[in-house]
Amino acid sequence: MERLVEVEHLTKIFSLGSVLSRVRITAVDDVSFYIRPAEIFALAGESGCGKTTTARMILGFEEPTSGTIVYKGKRDEASKPKKVWLTEGVQAIFQDPFATFNPLRRVDRYFFETVQNYGLAKSREEAVRLIEEKLNAVGISYAEFSGKYPSEFSGGQLQRVSIARALLTNPTLLIADEPVSMVDASLRMSIVNLFKKLKEESGLSVLYITHDLATAYYVSDRIAIMFRGNIVEMGPVEQVLMTPKHPYTRLLRESVPEADPKKRWKEPITLFELEHEEYLRRGCRFAGRCPEVMEVCRSQIPEDIYVDDVLVKCHKYAR
């Protein structure tokens, strides 16, 4: 099987406002990509780019306006939300582990419940063994986990616990939505290294949604950069992030602060103050602040163009 999950022309339009003045925002605009088995695929971009909405559609929390999601070759038309995914091996972890767990419940109860709901063990001893196996896979011992409430864990530890719970059903795809944004920069490695290890040892695929390009570079195989609902560049992570082609990718890449005083930012940037203005633009949505903008950019949406292995949505590369 070459493609574990394939998203085709996925679109989501939100309608905001009152009866008198409605604004339609295309949060996800004709997005297509696929993830292979045993691959870490990053979906990267800043707030408001549509990456989380895309993930929510894949998980079935949100209905696409149009487009299809194909999992293991089985097509799912846009009209039917598909929650059965979670039993078939798609699990998720989210940004704030403290929001995932009820502060008044012991964390181990969630694990035992999951085991029971999915019929993963026939006895308590078997359940404990399974839980312990998954906890060890994320570097936590059963002893330091048993009987504790969420507040007794640090953010990083609790996030690893969330991953352990997601692994109970032996999923083939883990959707991780901003899993390290709330964790101190120095501790992020412990979590993303886990993704690498799980990929290598059990063939897990990860859809890694993030705005942190540095960890995306470190852990991913392929990456798609999203801007205001569109994928503007997509390909092997080495090429996209080391030799970025789209001006927005370049801006993002250059704006990552490096832990080296010799590599300080040199040029000042201008910031767009009202985001929704960019959403409603005709033509390329980045035209308002693109340093290489041309006349055609303001009126026409760019095509998806292949340059070597990389897909770029930019008039610069049109033939």
Partner 1 sequence: MNETILRTEQLKAFYVLDVFGTQKVVKAVNEVDLNIKENEVYGIAGESGCGKTTLLKALVAAIEPPLRLIGGKVYYRVNGRELDVTALSAEDKRRLRLEYISYVPQGSMSVLNPVLKVKGTYRDFIASHVSGRIGEEAIEIAREHLAGLGLPPKILDAYPHQLSGGMRQRVTIALAALLKPRIIVADEPTTALDVVVQRGVVQLLKDIQQRLGNTIILVTHDMGVQANIADRVAIMYAGKIVEEATTEEIFGNPRHPYTRYLIDSLPRFGDKTMRESVPGSPPSLMDLPSGCPFHPRCPYKMDVCTRQMPGFVRLSTQHTVACWLVGER
- Closer residue to partner 1 (CB): 292 or 295: 292
Among 215, 285, 290, 313, binds partner 1 (CB under 8 A): 215
Residues 19-45, buried b or exposed e (16+ Cβ, 10 A)?
eeeeeebbbbbbbbbebbbbbbbbbbb
Among 70, 86, 121, 187, binds partner 1 (CB under 8 A): 187
What contacts 165, CB < 8 A, 6 or more positions away? 110, 111, 114, 134
For the beta sheet containing 22-35, the strands, ordered from the edge strand earlier in sequence to the opposite edge, are: 22-35, 5-17, 66-71, 74-76
Considering only residues 130 through 159, tell me which ones interact with partner 1, judged by CB under 8 A.
Answer: 154-157
Number of residues that bind partner 1 (CB under 8 A): 44
Among 78, 251, 301, 305, binds partner 1 (CB under 8 A): 251
Alpha helices in the chain (DSSP H): 51-59, 97-100, 107-117, 124-137, 155-167, 188-202, 213-219, 237-242, 247-254, 275-279, 295-299
Q: Is the dihedral of CA 54, 52, 115, 82 positive or negative?
A: negative
- Closer residue to partner 1 (CB): 156 or 171: 156
For 92, the 3-state DSSP assignment is strand
Contact 313, 304 (CB under 8 A): yes
- Closer residue to partner 1 (CB): 123 or 186: 186
Q: Name the segment binding partner 1 (CB under 8 A); options: 6-14, 120-128, 264-272, 302-310.
A: 264-272
Contact 229, 28 (CB under 8 A): yes
- Closer residue to partner 1 (CB): 41 or 217: 217
Least distance to partner 1, CB of residue 260, Å: 6
Among 42, 69, 176, 213, binds partner 1 (CB under 8 A): 213
Q: Is the dihedral of CA 120, 122, 124, 130 positive or negative?
A: negative
Q: Does 193 interact with partner 1 (rule: CB under 8 A)?
A: yes
Q: Does 184 interact with partner 1 (rule: CB under 8 A)?
A: yes
Among 207, 241, 290, 310, binds partner 1 (CB under 8 A): 241
Q: Does 100 interact with partner 1 (rule: CB under 8 A)?
A: no
In the complex, which residues of this chain contact partner 1 (CB under 8 A)?
46-47, 154-157, 181-182, 184-190, 193, 211-215, 217-218, 241-242, 251-253, 255-261, 263-265, 268-271, 273, 275
